[in-house]
Structure 1
């Protein structure tokens, strides 16, 4: 049985209501997350999990439920671009951390789709922060035939509940250059050598068993995961901070003709023009402003705004831990406080993450998009604003979670 908690829709919500019933959300201030940034007074029609109309005056579909939002602010559901949500319940111990290949022999071949727990208690917590989708990325396991730190293959999930939370698996492979086992003089040479192995294997699979590859202990799963990377079919997500390293990655992407997504990029603003010219997107935490290592001496609160001003597409995240996915809107608000426009900040937590990862059917309030919609009591970047209701694939979600249950339990205790 499905329960509806929204104050706006409690009077019209039907227990177990069929998702296919058309829904009209009307009289809202809509921030679309797309090119038509804001509708002062607009409505949204949802049919079969999809947005079929957006505008000021819309035809009401036959049999539609009508919800008057009374001027509430509406945004797309929030999208986390880089997180461990669903793969890690507890960061240490308790057999509840599946965020990496751990002690396995795999590196790039690690496939995080098998690590996602659709019943994780952190999914409802993320949902209570307005999160409807997330891209879950693995951390490096420490073992690598080339001395590099490939982490494995990423997966996209939704927070809509039930057992089918995975949207797309094997989206790309992670590579951590922020935590290196080898010096830079060897690192980039070995990275090129690794790609040469993968290209040879893609051309002739027998090269693995014939001892023709530079690294002697590749696994077939690792090579298979990297073949789409060297073919330019899927992105390599590179965690890197130092400006000079970013320039080397940009050159590598040109030489190897591969897709790159930069993650962290604390010194990204220093080489923002070069990142923009290479059309490489950046996933960043706008609160990373401290020189915590020699790779991050130029860290700045202005990283996000300077990258955007240079023409770089960015996605904003908070801490990668799934426990913190609900904080996404606050980190976007911090970026706004340091000069990023509200429109750019909203795009950085909705449409941009989706498009950076190659997903075209959600992230904006527009015709043809999945009906992932967040309804707020006020400005979503303000901490005192409440999430009033959340829709994933057109279905309203419960905002109850383990934290709210415990809160209510102890507040009501004698």
Structure 2
């Protein structure tokens, strides 16, 4: 069905806002964006009157654990870390996501329509991340990109996990050594594999090393969990040594190295921001960090690290960053286009333009105003969440039974 969202304050993100604009949707894709009078609404199209409302692309959560760290059910819903092997490159977050996790409905209520789900930070190499939509019957129905990157961790977490087991790694040098050894083996594996292929000889494949070869070949970015400035330098050192595409995740002390990160062209996914100083590594956290990085020229995305901060509060983190000096437009890009570009899914999500997936959210007002709500949420051109202002309740479309449920 064709849908025309009309008369709203349209924020395409990669273009100027349109006051009194229309977003036209057909076949699950955006087909036109422009002023009301310039867009011909097809006969029979469903018209969504967005007068007085703001219309934006669905938000993109670039680093979270929705569906693999389910809330409220304890160990049974915790599939975040496979902490039996320091090198978990063959592990896939895709295989552990429960699409029935309540967090997905929470995400929709906060205008988040896409999430990059990542393994946790208990291992030096945690596994493969996946980009999915926040609505659909199965994870496969929701799939945007698999894998989207490979997750790795430096610093306190893997040091603590394996130190408690009295095995490698129990120090920062041990964590770096595990990563370095893994890439060295991947280099040797690639050479042997390619030689065998050239000679037409059989070769025993290794699922762990195959993934790391894709990182070495530049196919997959390396999402590095890192908080402290010294650990960021280790991350850069390793990336220089092996030549892979580094994405700094968390980047709590990024404001101390903003000029260096910018000069290297390293993108950053920073957060969670609405937390206390829960461990030594985050003692220098500041809400000013994203704005400082952005002004230095770093491509910045924000993360809730759900469920550390509830995913529906992603936009509130952006608001707090603006309060601490971040440009409002940059804050919106940090939860839409920037994360999509960093994670390689900007051809599908992150902006309102013809050809993009019709993931569109109608807001009651400026989403950076904490009093604004996501009123209507569309994923792939289908309305999947509606907020009833009179009853003051949100309802998500049930992906299993194709009916609305509270």
Q: Does TM-score exceed 0.5, indicating one fold? A: yes
Using the TM superposition, give the Cα deviation of residue 290 of structure 1 relative to its aligned residue in structure 2, in angstroms. Answer: 6.3
TM-score (norm 1): 0.82
Corresponding pairs, count = 367
1:37 alignment partner, one of 16, 19, 23: 16
Using the TM superposition, give the Cα deviation of residue 232 of structure 1 relative to its aligned residue in structure 2, in angstroms. Answer: 1.5
Using the TM superposition, give the Cα deviation of residue 262 of structure 1 relative to its aligned residue in structure 2, in angstroms. Answer: 0.5
2:151 alignment partner, one of 174, 195, 201: 174
Residue pair 2:71, 2:307 contacting (<8 A) in 1 also: no
Q: In 1, Cα distance between the equivalents of 2:344 and 2:394?
A: 36
Q: Cα deviation per residue 1:59-78 (whole Å; 9 max; x = unaligned)? A: 22243222221131111111
Q: In 2, Cα distance between the equivalents of 1:161 and 1:270?
A: 41
Residue pair 1:106, 1:221 contacting (<8 A) in 2 also: no
Residue of structure 1 in register with 2:378 after alignment: 391
Q: In 1, Cα distance between the equivalents of 2:110 and 2:394?
A: 15
SS of the aligned residue for 1:204 comes to: helix
Trace 1:204-219 onto structure 2 (pairs within 5 A): 204-205=192-193
Residue of structure 2 in register with 1:255 after alignment: 241
Residue pair 1:54, 1:366 contacting (<8 A) in 2 also: yes
Residue of structure 2 in register with 1:376 after alignment: 363
Residue of structure 1 in register with 2:341 after alignment: 355
Using the TM superposition, give the Cα deviation of residue 131 of structure 1 relative to its aligned residue in structure 2, in angstroms. Answer: 1.0
1:299 alignment partner, one of 282, 285, 288: 285
TM-score (norm 2): 0.83
Q: In 2, Cα distance between the equivalents of 1:120 and 1:294?
A: 31
Using the TM superposition, give the Cα deviation of residue 169 of structure 1 relative to its aligned residue in structure 2, in angstroms. Answer: 1.6
Residue pair 2:378, 2:385 contacting (<8 A) in 1 also: no
Q: 1:307 to 1:104 in 2, by over 3 A?
A: closer
Using the TM superposition, give the Cα deviation of residue 92 of structure 1 relative to its aligned residue in structure 2, in angstroms. Answer: 6.3
Residue pair 1:281, 1:356 contacting (<8 A) in 2 also: yes
Q: In 1, Cα distance between the equivalents of 2:277 and 2:122?
A: 26
1:199 alignment partner, one of 162, 187, 195: 187
Q: Cα deviation per residue 1:209-264 (whole Å; 9 max; x = unaligned)? A: xxxxxxxxxx9332222111111110111111222321232233233110111111
Which of the two has greater helix per residue? 2
Q: 1:22 to 1:120 in 2, by over 3 A?
A: same
Q: 1:161 to 1:187 in 2, by over 3 A?
A: closer
- 1:86 correspondence with 2:101: no
1:76 alignment partner, one of 32, 49, 57: 57
Q: In 1, Cα distance between the equivalents of 2:117 and 2:250?
A: 15
Residue pair 1:45, 1:51 contacting (<8 A) in 2 also: yes
Residue of structure 2 in register with 1:24 after alignment: 4
| Worse-superposed segment, 109-118 or 163-172 | 163-172
Using the TM superposition, give the Cα deviation of residue 81 of structure 1 relative to its aligned residue in structure 2, in angstroms. Answer: 0.7
Using the TM superposition, give the Cα deviation of residue 26 of structure 1 relative to its aligned residue in structure 2, in angstroms. Answer: 0.9
Alpha-carbon RMSD across the aligned residues, in angstroms, is 2.7
- 1:158 correspondence with 2:136: no
SS of the aligned residue for 1:397 comes to: strand
1:123 alignment partner, one of 104, 109, 124: 104
Q: Cα deviation per residue 1:267-307 (whole Å; 9 max; x = unaligned)? A: 11111111112111111126368665554454322111110
Q: In 2, Cα distance between the equivalents of 1:136 and 1:165?
A: 12
Q: In 1, Cα distance between the equivalents of 2:142 and 2:256?
A: 38
Residue of structure 2 in register with 1:17 after alignment: none
Q: 1:253 to 1:323 in 2, by over 3 A?
A: closer
Residue pair 1:103, 1:141 contacting (<8 A) in 2 also: no
SS of the aligned residue for 1:113 comes to: helix
Q: Which structure 2 residue ranges, 5 or more long, are not aligned? A: 160-169, 196-204, 396-406
Residue pair 1:127, 1:399 contacting (<8 A) in 2 also: no
Q: Which structure 1 residue ranges, 5 or more long, are not aligned? A: 1-20, 143-148, 208-218, 407-414
Residue of structure 2 in register with 1:234 after alignment: 220
Q: In 1, Cα distance between the equivalents of 2:283 and 2:235?
A: 19
Using the TM superposition, give the Cα deviation of residue 87 of structure 1 relative to its aligned residue in structure 2, in angstroms. Answer: 1.6
